[in-house]
Structure 1
């Protein structure tokens, strides 16, 4: 770390649980943020401010005027611009030392299989059920920790799945792919702007603690927020013996034993 970095990150370095060692882990880390909207905006900004050395931002959409009520990575002048390019510009102003890979496409199994192995942690900031499961499968296959967040109206939820731990559940353990699911979007239901900010910031906190190896991440716990009444509920979650995705993980572990 050079003198400028020691100064920039001094408030992290002063924290006993972090120090220079954790800050160096941030600098060496690669975080993939899938979805650069309401959740991905604060998540990416906090990761960049904290000094995560490489960020891969993935989103196929462009900035729309309706996004600006909550997607704080973008500004009025960004309307019509690719979200990942707008995000890269914002992060460059925030912390020019961070390398940003701007990927303008919808993720699929092939892209995830190529890219996830290079990540230290993946943040699912999407609003699409199929994409969430694709991200989960890739993270399970490559044993990369996954931080999953969601928000709609006044409700938010967050959990962390750490596949370096064989006991960790996966996203499909909690929300099985074959379970009937009514997909709703904030474009039709609306969303309270600070709710995505709270969940997105928590996703960044989870990712940073996973990278640093400090504290107790939300593995085995699903936290749910009611921001209308500002109440939190925590539900314990466990790996399910009948989860098809985890069964694949078990098979892979056996092959590599």
Structure 2
């Protein structure tokens, strides 16, 4: 790391268990983020501030009035493409992070999923599992919800996802869940093997974690694919 990067991430480098090697792994990472709505806003900011090298945002929709929460989108952004509006806000936060629309055929080294539907979440998570890369899938529910953390070889999202959740519309307090999801992904990138596959539920500001378990007969029980570099 050069002096400029050392100065930029000085406080982060002081975190116990974190160091230059971890920061360099973050700087080499290509992170695909599926979904850039209000739920994703805090997580996107977190990833940029943490110093991921390349942030690929995938979202075909425009900014809606419901996306205006103060974290990312201003009222003036309503009606503009989410990806471009997000880039305009995120780019000034760090000159060390490249922020781009997800390129068709791009090969990420990690994925964060804020999907707008269950089929999209399952498809995005399965693509990451097949690629052998760490990924986190977010399930918002009002001001809480859950996230499923899947390092390579762990039980997949389909094994651990909620099938009985209420799924209430996200509220501004969802930022805590969003940031927590980004933090889990950063941990898996910067310190591979440091955390297991787990499901974290956030209810009234209290987070509880439990290990995920593999469903009998699930395809994720086979040998994991080679991890992307």
TM range (shorter): 0.7 to 0.9
For 2:12, the equivalent position in structure 1 comes to 12
Runs (4 or more) in structure 1 with deviation over 4 Å come to 181-184
CA RMSD of aligned residues (A): 2.4
Deviation at 1:211, TM superposition (A): 0.9
For 2:189, the equivalent position in structure 1 comes to 211
Task: Summarize the alignment of residues 50-65 of structure 1 with structure 2, pairs less than 5 Å apart.
Answer: 50-65=50-65
- Among 193, 199, 203, the residue aligned to 1:222: 199
Is the Cα contact below 8 Å between 2:31 and 2:110 reproduced in 1?
yes
For 1:124, the equivalent position in structure 2 comes to 113
Q: Summarize the Cα distance change of 1:137–1:183 in structure 2 as closer, same or farther, 3 Å threshold.
A: farther
Q: Summarize the Cα distance change of 1:225–1:82 in structure 2 as closer, same or farther, 3 Å threshold.
A: same
For 1:97, the equivalent position in structure 2 comes to 96
| Counterparts of 2:122 and 2:36, CA distance in 1 | 18
Q: Does 1:198 align with 2:187?
A: no
For 2:158, the equivalent position in structure 1 comes to 172
Long gaps (5+) in structure 1:
105-110
| Counterparts of 1:51 and 1:182, CA distance in 2 | 33
- Among 152, 159, 167, the residue aligned to 2:148: 159
Query: How many residues align structurally?
Result: 225
For 2:69, the equivalent position in structure 1 comes to 69
SS at match of 2:129: helix
For 1:246, the equivalent position in structure 2 comes to 220
| Counterparts of 2:201 and 2:46, CA distance in 1 | 21
| Counterparts of 1:92 and 1:220, CA distance in 2 | 31
Is the Cα contact below 8 Å between 2:141 and 2:166 reproduced in 1?
no
Q: Summarize the Cα distance change of 1:77–1:216 in structure 2 as closer, same or farther, 3 Å threshold.
A: same
**Taking structure 2 as the reference length, what is the TM-score of the superposition?**
0.88
Deviation at 1:83, TM superposition (A): 0.5
Is the Cα contact below 8 Å between 2:69 and 2:172 reproduced in 1?
yes
Cα deviations by residue, 1:99-128 (Å, 9 ceiling, x for unpaired): 111249xxxxxx5xx33xx22210011131
SS at match of 1:69: coil
Long gaps (5+) in structure 2:
none
SS at match of 1:197: helix
For 1:36, the equivalent position in structure 2 comes to 36
Deviation at 1:183, TM superposition (A): 9.0
| Counterparts of 2:172 and 2:101, CA distance in 1 | 24
More helix, by proportion: 1
